[in-house]
Structure 1
Amino acid sequence: MKAISRLSCAISLAVLLPLSATAGEVEVLHWWTSGGEKRAADTLQKLVEAQGHKWKDFAVAGGGGEAAMTVLKTRAVSGNPPAAAQIKGPDIQEWGELGLLADLNDVAAEQKWDDLLPPQVVDVMKYQGDYVAVPVNVHRVNWLWINPQVFEKAGATPPTTLDEFFAAADKLKAAGFIAIAHGGQPWQDGTVFEDLAFSILGPEGFRKAFVEQDRATLTGDKMVEVFAALQKLRGYIDADAAGRDWNSATGMVIDGKAGMQIMGDWAKSEWTAAGKVAGKDYECLAFPGTQGSFAFNIDSLAMFKLSNADNRKAQEDLARTVMGNEFQEFFNQNKGSIPVRMDQDMSSFDACAQKSMADFKDAAAGGGLQPSLAHGMAASSYVQGAVFDVVTNFFNDPKADPKRAAQQLAAAIQAVQ
Structure 2
Amino acid sequence: MRTQSSNLSKPYSRTVKLTACAVGVAALLAAGVARSAEVEVLHYWTSGGEAKSAQVLKQMLDEKGDTWKDFAVAGGGGGNAMTALKTRVIAGNPPAAAQIKGPAIQEWGDEGVLVSIDDVAKHEGWDKLIPPQISSIMKYKGQYVAAPVNVHRVNWLWINADALKKVSAQPPATWDEFFKTADALQKAGIIPVAIGGQSWQEAETFETVALGVGGAAFYKKAFVQLDPATLKGPTMVKALETFKKIKAYTDKGQTGRDWNMATGMVITGKAAMQFMGDWAKGEFSVANKVPGKDYLCVPGPGSQNAYTFNVDSFAFFKVKSPDVQKGQKDLASLLLSPKFQEIFNLNKGSIPVRQGMDLSKFDACAHRSAADFTSSQARGTLVPSWAHDMVDTPAVEGAFYDVIGNYWSDDNETAQEAADKLAVAARTR
2:368 aligns with: 355
Moved more, 355-364 or 35-44: 35-44
In structure 2, relative to structure 1, the CA distance for the partners of 1:316 and 1:151 (3 Å cut) is: same
Instruction: Kindly report which structure 2 residues correspond to 1:136-175, keeping only aligned pairs within 5 A, or say none.
Output: 136-175=149-188
Q: Which amino acid aligns with 2:252?
A: A
In structure 2, relative to structure 1, the CA distance for the partners of 1:111 and 1:19 (3 Å cut) is: farther
1:313 aligns with: 326
Residues 347-372 of structure 1, C-alpha deviation per residue, up to 9 Å, x if partnerless?
Answer: 11111112111112222232221111
Instruction: Kindly report which structure 2 residues correspond to 1:253-332, keeping only aligned pairs within 5 A, or say none.
Output: 253-332=266-345
Moved more, 57-66 or 131-140: 57-66
Residues 255-292 of structure 1, C-alpha deviation per residue, up to 9 Å, x if partnerless?
Answer: 22322211111211222222211011111001111112
2:105 aligns with: 92
Percent of pairs with identical residues? 53
Unaligned 5+ runs, structure 2: 1-30
Unaligned 5+ runs, structure 1: 1-17
Instruction: Kindly report which structure 2 residues correspond to 1:6-405, keeping only aligned pairs within 5 A, or say none.
Output: 24-62=37-75, 64-405=77-418
User: Aligned equivalents of 1:293 and 1:344: distance in 2?
Assistant: 22
User: Aligned equivalents of 1:151 and 1:44: distance in 2?
Assistant: 37
Q: Which has the larger radius of gyration?
A: 2
Q: Which amino acid aligns with 1:107?
A: V
- Report if the CA contact (8 A) 1:108-1:131 is conserved: yes
- Report if the CA contact (8 A) 2:114-2:145 is conserved: yes
Moved more, 190-199 or 170-179: 170-179
Residues 26-50 of structure 1, C-alpha deviation per residue, up to 9 Å, x if partnerless?
Answer: 2222222333333332332232232
Coordinate RMSD, CA, aligned: 2.1
User: Aligned equivalents of 2:289 and 2:211: distance in 1?
Assistant: 29
Deviation, 1:19, is: 7.2
User: Aligned equivalents of 1:182 and 1:20: distance in 2?
Assistant: 47
- Report if the CA contact (8 A) 1:154-1:172 is conserved: yes
SS in 2 for 1:240: helix
User: Aligned equivalents of 2:271 and 2:139: distance in 1?
Assistant: 42
User: Aligned equivalents of 2:255 and 2:285: distance in 1?
Assistant: 26
Q: Which amino acid aligns with 1:204?
A: A
Q: 2:425 aligns with which of 407, 412, 415?
A: 412
1:4 aligns with: none
Deviation, 1:184, is: 2.1
User: Aligned equivalents of 1:320 and 1:171: distance in 2?
Assistant: 51
In structure 2, relative to structure 1, the CA distance for the partners of 1:241 and 1:29 (3 Å cut) is: closer
Residues 125-184 of structure 1, C-alpha deviation per residue, up to 9 Å, x if partnerless?
Answer: 111211110001121110011122222221222111222212222222233322222222
Q: Which amino acid aligns with 2:411?
A: P
Deviation, 1:373, is: 1.4
